[in-house]
Amino acid sequence: MTTHGQLIRTIGAAILASTALTSSGRECLSLYLYSAADCNATCKRRRKSLRRYRLERASQEQSKETHKTLHDCWGRKRMKMTQQINDGASTPVAGATEASE
């Protein structure tokens, strides 16, 4: 004769086996009876992975900001060069446009 807990575990195992869930999804939908130690270990794993994710995300944001800053510097340099070409008649193209005007 099976107990109520064993029946729930058997049904839960059948449901989880029939669905294509990742291990974290299985933890969320699991019908197993967890002990307090199991719950604490699961929470620890989740906190640790969340910290790792936040660290990776922060480093990606920082690298994006660095790249963005460099790109802005390049944009300013290009603008300065075009302003120099348009302002002075030192280049043949600029001299030709001024002569035609």
State pLDDT tens for residues 46-75. Answer: 889 999 999 888 888 877 766 555 555 555
State pLDDT tens for residues 18-55. Answer: 665 555 555 555 555 666 677 778 888 888 999 999 98
List the one residue out of 62, 59, 26, 29 whose CA is nearest residue 51.
Answer: 59
What pTM, to 2 d.p., does this model score? 0.31
For the residues of 28-77, what is the DSSP string, one character each? HH--S---HHHHHHHHHHHHHHHHHHHHHHHHHHHHHHHHHHHHHHHHHH
First to last CA, the chain: 103
3-state secondary structure of 86: helix
Q: Which helix (H) or strand (E) holds 78?
A: helix 36-87
**Residue 31 backbone phi and psi in degrees, to 5:** -100, 5
